Structure 1
Amino acid sequence: MRAQVNGTTRELTEGTSVAAVVELMGAPEKGVAVALDGAVVPRALWDTTTVPDGGVVEVLTAVQGG
Protein backbone atom coordinates (compact mmCIF):
# COMPACT_ATOMS: atom_id res chain seq x y z
CA MET A 1 0.00 0.00 0.00
CA ARG A 2 1.08 3.59 -0.47
CA ALA A 3 0.87 6.58 1.82
CA GLN A 4 2.22 10.12 1.78
CA VAL A 5 4.69 10.64 4.62
CA ASN A 6 5.94 14.20 5.01
CA GLY A 7 5.18 14.82 1.35
CA THR A 8 6.90 11.71 0.00
CA THR A 9 5.10 8.63 -1.30
CA ARG A 10 6.13 5.58 0.70
CA GLU A 11 5.37 1.91 0.29
CA LEU A 12 4.09 0.59 3.61
CA THR A 13 2.90 -2.82 4.71
CA GLU A 14 -0.83 -3.02 5.25
CA GLY A 15 -1.58 -2.47 8.93
CA THR A 16 1.44 -0.22 9.50
CA SER A 17 0.94 1.77 12.69
CA VAL A 18 1.61 5.45 13.20
CA ALA A 19 4.31 4.39 15.70
CA ALA A 20 6.07 2.40 12.97
CA VAL A 21 6.00 5.41 10.63
CA VAL A 22 7.53 7.61 13.34
CA GLU A 23 10.28 5.02 13.81
CA LEU A 24 10.79 4.79 10.03
CA MET A 25 11.31 8.56 9.94
CA GLY A 26 13.96 8.36 12.66
CA ALA A 27 12.13 10.92 14.79
CA PRO A 28 13.33 11.54 18.35
CA GLU A 29 11.39 10.06 21.28
CA LYS A 30 10.27 13.45 22.59
CA GLY A 31 8.96 16.59 20.94
CA VAL A 32 7.12 14.77 18.14
CA ALA A 33 3.56 15.25 16.89
CA VAL A 34 1.78 13.23 14.23
CA ALA A 35 -1.17 14.11 12.02
CA LEU A 36 -3.00 11.49 9.98
CA ASP A 37 -5.20 12.84 7.20
CA GLY A 38 -5.16 16.26 8.86
CA ALA A 39 -6.09 15.13 12.38
CA VAL A 40 -3.64 14.98 15.27
CA VAL A 41 -3.10 11.46 16.60
CA PRO A 42 -2.49 11.43 20.37
CA ARG A 43 0.73 9.64 21.33
CA ALA A 44 -1.27 7.11 23.37
CA LEU A 45 -2.91 5.93 20.12
CA TRP A 46 0.18 5.68 17.91
CA ASP A 47 0.56 1.90 18.40
CA THR A 48 -3.08 1.15 17.62
CA THR A 49 -3.73 3.66 14.82
CA THR A 50 -3.04 2.21 11.39
CA VAL A 51 -2.24 4.20 8.30
CA PRO A 52 -4.80 3.56 5.54
CA ASP A 53 -3.90 3.08 1.89
CA GLY A 54 -3.62 6.57 0.42
CA GLY A 55 -3.31 8.12 3.88
CA VAL A 56 -1.38 11.33 4.50
CA VAL A 57 0.95 11.34 7.50
CA GLU A 58 2.84 14.34 8.80
CA VAL A 59 5.53 13.72 11.42
CA LEU A 60 6.52 16.99 13.04
CA THR A 61 9.32 17.66 15.48
CA ALA A 62 9.61 20.60 17.81
CA VAL A 63 12.54 22.93 17.18
CA GLN A 64 13.92 25.08 19.93
CA GLY A 65 15.36 28.47 19.26
CA GLY A 66 14.45 32.03 18.75
Structure 2
Amino acid sequence: MPTVRINDQSIDLPPGATVAHAVEHTTGRELTPEGRPADGGRLGVAVALEGSVVPRSLWAAADLEENAQLEIVTAVQGG
Protein backbone atom coordinates (compact mmCIF):
# COMPACT_ATOMS: atom_id res chain seq x y z
CA MET A 1 0.00 0.00 0.00
CA PRO A 2 1.80 3.17 -1.10
CA THR A 3 1.85 6.16 1.17
CA VAL A 4 1.78 9.38 -0.86
CA ARG A 5 1.65 13.07 0.00
CA ILE A 6 -1.45 14.86 -1.25
CA ASN A 7 -1.44 18.59 -0.54
CA ASP A 8 1.20 18.03 2.19
CA GLN A 9 -0.82 15.31 3.92
CA SER A 10 0.26 11.64 4.08
CA ILE A 11 -2.37 9.32 2.59
CA ASP A 12 -2.35 5.52 2.26
CA LEU A 13 -3.72 4.34 -1.08
CA PRO A 14 -4.32 0.78 -2.35
CA PRO A 15 -1.55 -1.12 -4.18
CA GLY A 16 -1.44 -0.13 -7.85
CA ALA A 17 -2.91 3.31 -7.09
CA THR A 18 -2.93 5.94 -9.82
CA VAL A 19 -3.48 9.67 -9.92
CA ALA A 20 -7.16 8.88 -10.59
CA HIS A 21 -7.34 6.99 -7.27
CA ALA A 22 -5.81 9.99 -5.48
CA VAL A 23 -8.38 12.34 -7.04
CA GLU A 24 -11.23 9.98 -6.07
CA HIS A 25 -9.87 9.84 -2.52
CA THR A 26 -9.54 13.62 -2.30
CA THR A 27 -12.86 14.54 -3.89
CA GLY A 28 -14.93 11.60 -2.67
CA ARG A 29 -16.24 11.07 -6.20
CA GLU A 30 -15.93 8.08 -8.53
CA LEU A 31 -14.24 8.79 -11.87
CA THR A 32 -14.55 7.24 -15.31
CA PRO A 33 -11.36 5.97 -17.02
CA GLU A 34 -11.22 9.33 -18.82
CA GLY A 35 -11.03 11.18 -15.49
CA ARG A 36 -14.56 12.55 -15.59
CA PRO A 37 -16.99 12.22 -12.67
CA ALA A 38 -19.11 9.08 -13.01
CA ASP A 39 -22.15 11.08 -11.87
CA GLY A 40 -21.88 13.30 -14.97
CA GLY A 41 -21.21 16.48 -12.96
CA ARG A 42 -18.28 18.84 -13.18
CA LEU A 43 -15.05 18.19 -11.30
CA GLY A 44 -12.97 21.39 -11.63
CA VAL A 45 -9.73 19.74 -10.47
CA ALA A 46 -6.12 20.00 -11.62
CA VAL A 47 -3.31 17.68 -10.53
CA ALA A 48 0.46 18.05 -10.36
CA LEU A 49 2.63 15.01 -9.69
CA GLU A 50 6.17 15.80 -8.55
CA GLY A 51 5.65 19.39 -9.75
CA SER A 52 4.41 18.53 -13.26
CA VAL A 53 0.80 18.89 -14.35
CA VAL A 54 -0.83 15.58 -15.26
CA PRO A 55 -3.45 15.88 -18.02
CA ARG A 56 -6.82 14.44 -17.04
CA SER A 57 -6.59 11.94 -19.90
CA LEU A 58 -3.51 10.38 -18.21
CA TRP A 59 -4.78 10.20 -14.61
CA ALA A 60 -5.74 6.51 -14.86
CA ALA A 61 -2.36 5.61 -16.38
CA ALA A 62 -0.15 7.64 -14.00
CA ASP A 63 0.98 5.15 -11.36
CA LEU A 64 1.90 6.41 -7.90
CA GLU A 65 5.02 5.23 -6.16
CA GLU A 66 5.81 5.33 -2.46
CA ASN A 67 6.28 8.93 -1.24
CA ALA A 68 4.95 10.49 -4.45
CA GLN A 69 4.13 14.18 -4.04
CA LEU A 70 0.80 15.39 -5.45
CA GLU A 71 -0.94 18.72 -5.46
CA ILE A 72 -4.65 18.51 -6.16
CA VAL A 73 -6.35 21.88 -6.56
CA THR A 74 -10.00 22.69 -7.06
CA ALA A 75 -11.32 25.65 -9.01
CA VAL A 76 -13.32 28.07 -6.88
CA GLN A 77 -15.84 30.47 -8.29
CA GLY A 78 -15.92 34.06 -7.08
CA GLY A 79 -13.34 36.65 -6.42
Runs of 4 or more, structure 1, over 4 Å off, are none
Structure 1: any 5+ residue segments left out of the alignment? none
Shift of 1:13: 2.4
| 1:38 to 1:27, Cα distance in 2 relative to 1, 3 A | farther
Distance 1:11 1:27, change over 3 A: closer
Q: Higher strand proportion, which one?
A: 1
Equivalent AA in structure 1 for residue 10 of structure 2: T
Residues 19-58 of structure 1: pairs in structure 2 closer than 5 A: 19-26=20-27, 29-58=42-71
**CA distance, structure 1, for counterparts of residue 43 and residue 74 of structure 2:** 8
Q: CA RMSD in A?
A: 1.5
SS in 1 for 2:66: coil
Report whether the alignment pairs 1:6 with 2:7: yes
Query: Share of identical aligned residues, percent?
Result: 41
Find the structure with the greater CA-based Rg.
2
Whole-angstrom CA distance in 2 between matches of 1:30 and 1:2: 24
Is there any run of 5+ residues in structure 2 with no aligned partner, and where?
30-41
Q: Residue 13 of structure 2 aligns to which amino acid in structure 1?
A: L
Work out the number of aligned pairs and report it. 66
Please report the TM-score for the alignment, with normalisation by the length of structure 2: 0.75
Normalised by the length of structure 1, the TM-score is: 0.88
